[in-house]
Amino acid sequence: MASSENEASYHSTSPASDELRSLPPEHTCIQKFRLYETLSNFYMIGTDKSNTYWRVLKIGRLDPSELNVREDSTTYTESEISDLLRRIHEGNKSTGGLKFVTTCYGIVGMYDQ
């Protein structure tokens, strides 16, 4: 699928490379983010510096008076995140699908006592 402003971009890797990946460390620093949108949600997709581990934050956008944020507890591989984005796009085609918004960078962390 081609990438454009109004169309989500998807990345893929060979299955063999995913089999070689180890389990994610307990605390992974997510530094690169891609923001996608559907009519009802924003999806912040984050990855570590080496593009090995991927995480998803889903932000509801239907109720402007309430902040509805859900962090997916799953840590994905690159091919798994690509498949997830493709499924979100397919499931939302009737309302415009999944659209890429922007790429951003940062260091996000949390200290848990």
Q: Do the Cβ atoms of 37 and 97 come closer than 8 Å?
A: no
pLDDT of residue 31: 87
The model's pTM = 0.72
> Any idea what DSSP says for residue 90?
H
Using CA atoms, how far apart are residues 8 and 1, in angstroms rounded to an integer? 8
Six token digits for residue 113: 């006592």
pLDDT averages per 10-residue partition of the chain, 113 residues:
40 42 65 96 95 95 94 95 98 98 77 63
Question: Which residues does residue 58 pair with via DSSP β-bridges, in sequence order?
Answer: 43, 70
pLDDT of residue 8: 44
Q: Where are the domains of the chain?
A: 29-108
